[in-house]
Amino acid sequence: MSSAFLLVNVVDTAEILAYFVLTVKVEQRAQMWYSNGMKIGRAEFDIKKLTRYIGKFITHPILFAVRFLSYFMPRSKNIWVLGHPTKFDGNSKYLFLFLQNTKPKDIEAVWISRSKTIVRELLSHGYRAEYYFSLAGVWHCLRAKYFIVDTSVEVISYWLSGGVKVVNLFHALPIKKMEQDVTRGDSTEVILFHSKGLVKFIMRFLFPWRFVKPAFVPSSSPLYTGVFSSMFRLGKERIKETGIPRNDVLFSEISGMELGLDENAFGKVREAKSRGMKVAIYAPTFRDTGDQHSFLEEPEALQKLNALMQSLNALFLVKIHPFMRIKVPQEDYQNIFFANPNTDSYPLLKLADILVTDYSSIFVDFLLLNRPEIFFPYDYEKYVTKDRELYFDYNEFTPGPKARVFSEFLGVLGKTLQGEDDFAQKRITQRDRCFSKIDSNASRRTIDEIRNI
């Protein structure tokens, strides 16, 4: 046990050192490029990824040996580890809170994090958490039978997962194609899942966790069972329509939900509601191309938006995707508030009167509340050709007014805030397509299914 812990830490330290040395060398070359007048803003991001990849070539042979040895650890069906390296949110958060709050006698649930701050915060609230780079963290990873994640097993530890059952709660009920269904555009999934020959071998060497098939995936309806089966190339017998754990918070108060939440944004929304203001949340998704061209970077547009919100006694809360790279204006707008991109969105959604989005799956979850939704696909043609294809016909699947330019968006937003809503019945129709069960028991049903794996 202590040898495994030492080996993992030595390898992680080696990878960090390799990355640091390579980054220094590459940044020196980047400075030469900059002095010659070349624009390297995006190149710097690519350079950092390149240095990480080189570090992986150095360390992964050792780590594959660690994973092989982890298969020999006796694993307990009573130990479930959930986690994320740097955040506390998503479906994993709400399943963990359910387990911690109900305390089933046959399950020891532990949150694994690479953030000491998150571990301390969870411990201070009486929840079970361990730092990944600790003896107890490694021990629980080696003893747990279930790794419960929102993306891939690597958010806990691929290298210590030999013999585990991976439960992928996934982080979306997508309308854009994801995972192995992404076959064209600028998404990294195209190279990751559809390369051949040597490139395919390299992808599996660098990112082996992306090719692990989950033992179980929860779904919300037959429609999404089909989507998940396709994107994971997974038999439908491994997908059960339990509902989505994070949506439980839309129907009930959950102890601990404030953890991982932007307290300033939450406080701002609650204050607005107490003053009788309406709240619109804008939650756009990222672009694989990196070309966002958002009105959020245009001071004149924000001034017009702020004036509209003031005139209608409303708050416009902006919650961008963590992958979005935009320059948030420094000016303070009285009726516009920018939430931390890494905040848990769902306690905020619960208080929202209107949701504004583009291609984000968040609108599917918001259907459960049957409140107005506005769609602002200002770059639709570019998005579906260069970024992601969609699973569904966009105009048919999205139950709300569409705006293609900013002036049109302001008009639609103003009318909706004043009560115009022609899509109530269509939202119900879409809700019933996307959700077989509409209640606060998704976590309970999900746990029952995991027990049976």
Whether 240 and 219 have beta carbons less than 8 Å apart is answered as: yes
Q: Is residue 313 part of a domain?
A: yes
63 falls within a domain: yes
Q: Which domain holds residue 242?
A: 73-248+441-451
Asked whether residue 57 falls in the same domain as residue 198, the answer is no
CATH of the domain at 412: 3.40.50.12580
State which H helix or E strand residue 54 sits in. Answer: helix 41-70
- 46 burial (CB, 10 Å; 0-12 / 13-18 / 19+) is exposed
Name the domain boundary from 43, 69, 95. Answer: 69
Question: Does one domain contain both 58 and 78?
Answer: no
In a domain, 318, yes or no: yes
The pLDDT, as a whole number, for residue 46 is 60
Q: Tell me which of 69, 84, 103 is where a domain ends.
A: 69
Q: What is the pLDDT along the chain (453 residues), one digit of tens a residue?
A: 555 555 555 545 444 444 443 333 333 433 333 333 322 233 344 666 777 778 888 899 999 999 999 999 999 999 999 999 999 999 999 999 999 999 999 999 999 999 999 999 999 999 999 999 999 999 999 999 999 999 999 999 999 999 999 999 999 999 999 999 999 888 889 999 999 999 999 999 999 999 999 999 999 999 999 999 999 999 999 999 999 999 999 999 999 999 999 999 999 999 999 999 999 999 999 998 887 778 998 999 999 999 999 999 999 999 999 888 777 776 789 999 999 999 999 999 999 999 999 999 999 999 999 999 999 999 999 999 999 999 999 999 999 999 999 999 999 999 999 999 999 999 999 999 999 999 999 999 999 999 999
User: In this structure, are 197 and 300 located in the same domain?
Assistant: no
63 and 100, same structural domain?
no
Q: Give pLDDT, residue 154.
A: 95
Q: Is 296 part of a structural domain of the chain?
A: yes
Assigned token pair, 390: 């969609």
Q: Does residue 253 lie in a domain region?
A: no
318 and 172 within one domain: no
* Spatial CA neighbour of 164 closest among 239, 72, 94: 72
389 with 339, same domain: the answer is yes
Residue by residue, DSSP assigns 135-174 as HHHHHHHHHEEEEEESS-GGGT-STT-TTPEEEE--S---
In terms of Cα–Cα distance, which of 407, 271, 250, 287 is closest to 337? 271
Partnered with residue 108 across adjacent β-strands are: 79
**Nearest Cα to 182, choosing from 390, 393, 398, 434?**
390
Domain identity same for 291 and 337: yes
Residue 198 sits in a domain whose CATH number is 3.40.50.11820
- The answer to whether residues 206 and 243 belong to one domain is yes
Check whether residue 270 and residue 142 sit in a common domain. no
**Residue 34 belongs to a domain:** yes
Among candidate residues 140, 145, 78, 91, the one with its CA nearest the CA of residue 113: 140
pLDDT computed for residue 343 by the predictor? 95
Among 23, 48, 69, the domain-final residue is: 69
Number of domains in the chain: 3
The structure tokens listed for 293 are: 């061209």
User: 80 and 57 in one domain?
Assistant: no
* CA separation for the pair 140, 130 (Å, rounded): 8
Helices (H), 71-221: 90-102, 116-124, 135-143, 188-194, 197-206
pTM of the model: 0.88
Give residue 293's pLDDT. Answer: 78
Q: Are 15 and 58 in contact (CB under 8 A)?
A: yes
For residue 233, is it left (φ>0), alpha (ψ between -120 and 50) or beta?
Answer: left
Residue 132 lies in a domain: yes
**Do residues 243 and 363 both lie within one domain?**
no
pLDDT score for 52: 77
- Are 27 and 113 in the same domain? no
pLDDT for the residue numbered 203: 92
